[in-house]
Structure 1
Amino acid sequence: MSSSSSATQTLERGLQLLRAFRAERTPLTNAELVRRTGFSRSSVSRLTATLVQLGYIRRVAGGPEFELAPGGFRIGYAYARTNPVTQRVHPLMQGLADRLHVSVALAVPDGLDMLYIAYRASAQVATLRLDVGSLLPMGRTAIGRAWLWGLPSQQRERYVAAILEAAGSDAPQVRQRLDDAFADLDATGVCMAVSEYQHNAYGIALPLRVGRAGTLMAMNCGAVGLALDDVGALRQRIEPELKDAAREVEALLRDLDAEP
């Protein structure tokens, strides 16, 4: 392997390791990073040592666990501050969140996860501990299933195959819920997930196309504190507003040249 390709692989692995921290802010040991990345113990040890030295992660109280350090935040902050998508859609999303007493998110794919690039929440409702930069599993959330449904069929099935392989023994259940969500989207244009990503929480989502390139994204409304007997009324209240908001987002971003 050439030195340039070796350096590229090292950089790629370093970025994958940083992604493994996700958004729950839980400190991780080398063993947990091995499990999340699939890298060898020796590779993870070298990467964590380098990333600590560069200021992207740090040890927690000098112990065996690591957490993200300010080095990574600077990059994310710069993206959030300069991203034309978030600048345009945040006022609209905040208005929707306040009217419906929910959180509202806009997401793009990142591997087999969905990455929140815009997020707003009502101050009057309990929401999931999420924000810009949060990663949610594509196959187990409404926002991920909505994005998958928006893909051309062959590309969708490639993603689904990878999701099912990663699900292991849970694959039959994941497949059934994906199929149910796709049928719901076929019939109504939205899908809903209840108490899957987190107990007593829900998400209602749909796909949308952004900018001149028609980049596929997904948008959702969600919150915690759900009474299961209110699911039908909740969906009836949120679905039309979410669809209207998605059309407004597409209109706001229609002339966007850059990828989100």
Structure 2
Amino acid sequence: MRKRAVAAGGAGPGEDNAAGDRQFVAAIARGFDILHAFRAEDPMLGNQELAERTGLPRATVSRLTHTLTRLGYLTYLPRFAKYQLGLGAVPLGQLALANMSIRRVAAPLMRALSEETNASTSLGKRDGLAMLYVEHVSPRTAVALQLDIGSRLPLALTAMGRAYYARAPEEERAAIDLEIAARQPAEWPVIRDGLREAVAMQERLGFTASLGDWNPTVHAAGAALSLPGGEIVALNCGAPAFMLGRERVLEEIGPRLAAVARRIESMARGPGGGSGGA
């Protein structure tokens, strides 16, 4: 199997899911690897950067970016000699978000928590070794985390990702462990300890935390919930560390976020809560 580059949260699932699957179309997977490499914080990428992020040969990347540009999923910017996601990708994302009834259930409660705590609140789902924001609310303050819908954060280091991990079935956690250990062998012992601590914290307190583990300037709590179809999504509530100290995360934000997660889960399962996935 080819060696894949490891960026923040990893690239898309690509051919890592192909082992033993004769129905798997590798060419399509490579195309999605290219699209997954773009992030909100890195909206423009060149062929060399895409090759480094996906682990694909430069010649293969050039053919894929040419094809995706012809199809409208990428736009080429001659001034920078780089690509950005094209308008062809927009309807797919909009349709996916529109089909997520959990966003409509969660948004009012997230907004209330954000305003009450003066912290940003987000809802996300797993995307490989990352968590993808599908809903985000910032407080009405000049100081807020510069993240939004579509942001991808590393699963293993963030409060949201750790909450997902702690709620996931044991076999899924084991698969995540193997993938992280293979991609980041040097960092794995520290990452492993953080994930084990998150599981214990979830069992003890009902939420998880990331106190500078992902970003030394950010503190956050995380809580996960299960949707009617069995899929797991996760919430976080965070702010710059100077606004949100360790004690407040553990004594106020975490318990309040866990209560919001339980209420959203109950509403999603009740009459009118909807059964759409996330």
Question: What's the TM-score once normalised by structure 1's chain length?
Answer: 0.89
Tell me if the contact between 2:43 and 2:85 (Cα under 8 Å) persists in the aligned partners: no
Aligned to 1:132: 149
The letter of the residue matching 1:224 is P
Q: CA deviation at 1:160?
A: 1.2
Q: Which secondary structure state, in structure 1, belongs to the residue aligned with residue 40 of structure 2?
A: coil
Aligned to 1:226: 242
Q: Residue by residue, what CA displacement relative to the aligned partner does 1:9-39 show, whole Å, maximum 9, x if unpaired? A: 3222212211110221342121221121121
Aligned match of 1:214 in 210, 226, 230? 230
Tell me if the contact between 1:190 and 1:205 (Cα under 8 Å) persists in the aligned partners: yes
Q: Which runs of 5+ in 2 are unaligned?
A: 1-21
Q: Tell me the distance in 2 between the aligned counterparts of 1:60 and 1:199.
A: 34
Tell me if the contact between 1:200 and 1:227 (Cα under 8 Å) persists in the aligned partners: no
Q: Tell me the distance in 2 between the aligned counterparts of 1:132 and 1:101.
A: 19
5 Å-filtered alignment, 1:197-208, equals 197-208=214-225
Aligned to 1:236: 251
Aligned to 2:88: 71
Q: Tell me the distance in 2 between the aligned counterparts of 1:73 and 1:123.
A: 28
The letter of the residue matching 2:191 is V
Runs (4+) off by over 6 Å: none
Q: CA deviation at 1:48?
A: 0.7
Tell me if the contact between 2:225 and 2:233 (Cα under 8 Å) persists in the aligned partners: yes
Question: What's the TM-score once normalised by structure 2's chain length?
Answer: 0.83
Structure-2 change in CA distance of 1:186 and 1:6 (3 Å): closer
Aligned to 2:66: 49
Q: CA deviation at 1:196?
A: 2.8
Identity of aligned residues (%): 30
Tell me if the contact between 1:147 and 1:217 (Cα under 8 Å) persists in the aligned partners: yes
1:248 aligns with 2:266: no
5 Å-filtered alignment, 1:18-57, equals 18-57=35-74
Q: Which secondary structure state, in structure 2, belongs to the residue aligned with residue 253 of structure 1?
A: helix
Q: Number of paired residues?
A: 254
Q: In proportion to residue count, which structure has more helix?
A: 1
RMSD: 2.2
